[in-house]
Amino acid sequence: MTVWPLQRDCIAFYGDPRTPGWLHAETVDVACPWPLRMGNVAISHILIHKKCAESLARVLAAVWEGAGRSVETIKRLRYDVYDGSYNLRTIRGSASAFSMHAFAAAIDWDAADNEFHSPRHLFTDDSLLVVKFKEEGWIWGGDWAPGSVDAMHVQAARVHP
Mean pLDDT along residues 95-110: 92
User: Is the model's pLDDT at 123 over the cut of 80?
Assistant: yes
User: Is the model's pLDDT at 92 over the cut of 80?
Assistant: no
Separation in Å, CA 129 to CA 15, 27, 60, 150 = 28, 22, 8, 14
Residue 150: phi, psi to the nearest 5? -140, 75
What are the pLDDT digits (tens) for 127-150?
A: 999 999 999 999 999 998 888 889
pLDDT > 70 in the chain, percent = 100
Q: Would you say how long the chain is, in residues? A: 161
Contacts of range 134-141, beta carbons closer than 8 Å, 24 or more positions apart: 135/1, 135/59, 135/62, 136/1, 136/2, 136/55, 136/58, 136/59, 137/1, 137/2, 137/3, 137/4, 137/55, 138/4, 138/55, 138/59, 139/4
What are the pLDDT digits (tens) for 2-15?
A: 899 999 999 999 99
pLDDT > 90 in the chain, percent = 78
Separation in Å, CA 37 to CA 64, 84, 102 = 16, 10, 21
Residue 115's pLDDT band (cuts 50, 70, 90): confident
Question: What is the spatial distance between Cα 56 and Cα 133, in angstroms, rounded to a whole number?
Answer: 8
Cα angle 110, 151, 88; round to 5: 75
State residue 91's pLDDT score.
Answer: 80
Mean pLDDT along residues 49-75: 98
Mean pLDDT along residues 23-50: 97
State residue 24's pLDDT score.
Answer: 97
Q: What domains can be seen in the chain, in order of their start residue?
A: 7-155 (3.30.1380)
Separation in Å, CA 107 to CA 20, 68 = 23, 23
Q: Which residue has the higher pLDDT, 26 or 145?
A: 26
User: Is the model's pLDDT at 160 over the cut of 90?
Assistant: no
Residue 32's pLDDT band (cuts 50, 70, 90): very high
Separation in Å, CA 3 to CA 42, 101, 122, 135 = 32, 18, 27, 11
What is the residue-averaged pLDDT of the chain? 94
